[in-house]
Structure formats: C-alpha cells, structure tokens
Amino acid sequence: MPLAATGAAVKALELEVRAVAGLRQAAEEAGLIDRIDPIAASWESPRAADAIRGAEALLVDPPRSGLGRFAQRLADAKEGPGALLYVSCAAESFITDLGTLAPAGWRVRSLTLVDQLPQTPHGEWVALVTR
C-alpha cells in the first residue's frame, strides 16, 4: 500500500484468498483501490505470468519453501522485471532461489538481515536482486 500511495500501479499476487480480500478492503478504505490490483493465484499459475508481464520490479515474500519453479520462470524470461526485492524467512530456500537466478545474470546488490522476533533464532532476509 505504501508503494501505491506514491502513485505506482501495484499488482498483488497472493495465494491466500482471505489475504486478498483483506488487501482489497484496506485499499478501498485508503482510497487506493484504483492503484492496487489484488490477485488470488499461486506463483506457478498462468495468472502469475500475466501479473508480472510489463512489471518493472517485483516484491516477493514466498513461503518457507521459496519461489520454486517461479524462480526458474524468472531466470528463463527474456523480458520482464529488472529488479526483485526478495524477503525470506528461510535461508535455505532463499539460497536455492538465488542459485537458480544467478546463471541468468541476476545479482544480489544488497542483503540485510532483519531481526523481527528478538531473542529467537528467526530472522527475515531482505535482498535487492537485479539483472
């Protein structure tokens, strides 16, 4: 929503239907529904390919299992976003996804560990990846 508030057009792809409904309601209440397109679909669906077509950048926050086949779709894409802001709570799948993207020219430009749950071993990795 903060990105949409800057005037950017945002497509939000989310697997959980209730989360999509919540985003739609929040966007309507904030007067941003004309800038946010909430889409209920998995990364591996044809709707995902349609959603990212023409995107300049993607913000992804996948489940612990990572992006899976979607990482390969990004790697194989000749056109598409040139930047990926990747948020991950699972270092293993995060590294696997980066390993899939690297041969296609994607490079980590910045990497930050966010301690969202102090005094636990959990953290969120946030990386800016570009090609």
* pLDDT by position in tens, the chain (length 131): 899 999 999 988 888 899 999 999 999 999 999 999 988 888 778 887 777 777 889 999 998 999 988 899 889 988 888 999 999 999 999 999 999 999 999 999 999 999 988 888 889 999 999 99
When the candidates are 3.40.50.150, 3.90.550.10, 3.60.20.10, 1.10.10.10, the CATH number that belongs to 55-131 is 3.40.50.150
Element of type H or E holding 69:
helix 69-76
Query: Which residues in the chain are classed under CATH 3.40.50.150?
Result: 55-131
Asked whether the beta carbons of 59 and 36 are under 8 A apart, the reply is no
The pTM for the full model equals: 0.84
C-alpha 116, offset from chain centre: 18
Q: Which residue has the tokens 């749950």?
A: 117
3-state secondary structure of 113: strand
Report, as residue numbers or ranges, the catalytic residues.
89
